[in-house]
Amino acid sequence: MSLSIVIMAAGKGTRMKSSRPKVLHKLAGRPMLSHVIASTSGLQAAQQVVITGHGAEMVEAAMKAEFAQAPLQFVRQEPQLGTGHAVQQAVPVLPDDGITLILNGDTPLIHASTAQALVDACAGDKLALLTIRLDDPTGYGRIVRDETGVKVLAIVEHKDATPEQRAICEVYTGMMAAPTARLKHWLSQLNNDNAQGEYYLTDVVAMAQAEGLSVVAAQPRDEVEVLGVNSPAQLADLERRHQRAQAERLMEQGVRLADPARFDLRGTLQCGQDVDIDVNCIFEGNVVLGDEVQIGANCVIRNATIGRGAVIHPFTHIDGDTLGAHVGEGSLIGPFARLRPGAQLGNEVHIGNFVEVKNSTLGNGAKANHLAYLGDATVGERVNYGAGSITANYDGANKHRTVIGDDVHVGSNCVLVAPVTLGAGVTIGGGSTITKDVPAESLAVARGKQVTLSGWQRPQKIKR
């Protein structure tokens, strides 16, 4: 049976007090709406329809950029007259049969299996609601059941509920699955005769019930899946819960987190055995840590792979961006090191404090321990790159490469003006500015010769 997914994302999100549309606010580094689209894109739906309204251009552009492959459909809701009105806008693009799954763009942690369970519960001939019991149901639509407690009769919005109904703890989460043909029919009969003057999607429940269609309720595995975000405080709370859950999954795999409350993963993190991660680290994009990797406190690592046994000392920033970054086995990086896109380090490489590496390959055993820059360079094995030395890779218009052969020793405070090649075994005297290629096994020194005047008298202050 064909499945259509409708995601409501037109609301203003007034309580966010932001110029950014609510569904674009980020959870774990990604817009809330993206989470919903991503987790339901595995459901084999025939279509995914996003209802936009407030900030529609921005929302649509962001989603088109992120989900270039997935054929998302956008339907505008102007003005926003309630959740029922929102889904009404999608009616022209929905088929006449199959199942429609309705989700909220501001409830980011819905799990694919829960969405699938809701579709299965609908089975094409029932109205399936995702419900949950809350200790404090304030603000939510209440699930009103018959006296046996089996049959769902209606959803009553908090503002329209009687005191008895407000005592009900089972609430509607905002997600439902319905037979598309029936849904279209019910939507055409909605009115806005209620406390908020809105077209409530939730009114379809009483209509289904009146038609004798069974209304069934399914529950999520975890409360966090159905928590919506209306304010910065709720967003921060959901972020922490999500991070805690991710941290626990990693610890179950054996990863040692110094403090799961001070750990942030905004993407995917794959870890080998015996990985240690100290406090306040942030992992973004796709990061892979090999066996026995140690990550010091306050590191930020994005789109990178770290080889077995490497140690990343505190305050190191590694950002592979689209090119990636790789740290070889047994390497020592930081503290205060910066690896940028295209940094490809071999095994046993040492990168020390205030060293920046960009778009450069370093052979096994190469070392740059202090205050240095390697950009657009190919560095051989066992090279020692002195403190304060830099590759001058940019001439103001173009970038050029520096090639440094195996076993080269570059002294301190050198400038290698690219394009330039240092042959294997070359030694560069400290303070040199190298503009010409240096053949293998030679010494190059390019600086003013030292002048020493013995018995030199400094000028004296004139006395009057």
Which chain residues interact with Ca ion by CB under 5 A? 228
Euclidean distance between the first and final Cα of the chain, in Å? 106
CA nearest to 110, candidates 228, 286, 263: 228
- The single residue listed with the structure tokens 């967003």 is 235
Smallest separation, CB 133 to ligand UD1 (Å): 13
The correct pick among 141, 272, 334, 352 for binding ligand UD1 (CB under 6 A) is: 141
Smallest separation, CB 11 to ligand UD1 (Å): 2
> Judged by CB, which is closer to Ca ion: 228, or 342?
228
Candidate ranges 38-46, 195-203, 364-372, 408-416; the one touching ligand UD1 (CB under 6 A): 195-203
Smallest separation, CB 147 to ligand UD1 (Å): 22
Position closest to Ca ion via CB = 228
Between helix 32-40 and helix 112-122 the angle, nearest 10°, is: 60
The correct pick among 31, 55, 105, 380 for binding ligand UD1 (CB under 6 A) is: 105
Pick from Ca ion, ligand UD1, none: which does 217 bind, CB < 5 to 8 A by kind? none
Pick from ligand UD1, Ca ion, none: which does 200 bind, CB < 5 to 8 A by kind? ligand UD1
Residues contacting ligand UD1: total by CB under 6 A:
28
The residue from 111, 158, 370, 400 that is catalytic is: 370
The string of DSSP codes covering 150-217 is: -SEEEEE-GGG--HHHHT--EEEEEEEEEEHHHHHHHHTT----STT----GGGHHHHHHHTT--EEE
- Which backbone phi and psi does 334 adopt, to 5 degrees? 85, -170
The string of DSSP codes covering 387-449 is: TT-EEE-B-SS-B--EEE-TT-EE-TT-EEESSEEE-TT-EE-TT-EE-S-B-TT-EE--SPP
Candidate ranges 68-76, 194-202, 358-366, 449-457; the one touching ligand UD1 (CB under 6 A): 194-202
> Judged by CB, which is closer to ligand UD1: 49, or 81?
81
Pick from Ca ion, ligand UD1, none: which does 105 bind, CB < 5 to 8 A by kind? ligand UD1
Task: Tell me if 18 sits within 8 A of 56, measured CB to CB.
Answer: no
Smallest separation, CB 383 to Ca ion (Å): 58
Binding to ligand UD1 (CB under 6 A): which residues in 250-309? none
The correct pick among 117, 132, 157, 387 for binding ligand UD1 (CB under 6 A) is: 157
CA nearest to 36, candidates 46, 45, 47, 23: 23
Residue 11 is a binding residue for ligand UD1 (CB under 6 A): yes
The correct pick among 4, 173, 331, 432 for binding ligand UD1 (CB under 6 A) is: 173
Binding to ligand UD1 (CB under 6 A): which residues in 45-84? 51, 53, 77, 80-83
Stretch 403-442: interaction string toward ligand UD1, x if CB under 6 A:
----------------------------------------
- Which backbone phi and psi does 462 adopt, to 5 degrees? -70, 130
Stretch 220-249: interaction string toward ligand UD1, x if CB under 6 A:
--------x---------------------
Candidate ranges 171-179, 260-268, 273-281, 291-299; the one touching ligand UD1 (CB under 6 A): 171-179
* CA separation for the pair 223, 225 (Å, rounded): 5
Peptide bond into 92 cis (omega under 30): no
With b for 16 or more beta-carbon neighbours within 10 A and e for fewer, the 15-41 pattern comes to ebeeeebbbbbebbbebbbbbbbebbb
* CA separation for the pair 355, 391 (Å, rounded): 12
Candidate ranges 94-102, 200-208, 284-292, 343-351; the one touching ligand UD1 (CB under 6 A): 200-208
* CA separation for the pair 246, 425 (Å, rounded): 48
* CA separation for the pair 298, 278 (Å, rounded): 8
Query: Does residue 370 have an active-site annotation?
Result: yes
Position closest to ligand UD1 via CB = 141
In this structure, the number of other CB atoms found within 10 A of the CB of residue 438 comes to: 22
Question: Which positions lie near ligand UD1, rule CB under 6 A?
Answer: 8-11, 51, 53, 77, 80-83, 85-86, 104-106, 140-141, 155, 157, 171-174, 200-202, 228
Q: Which residues are catalytic?
A: 370
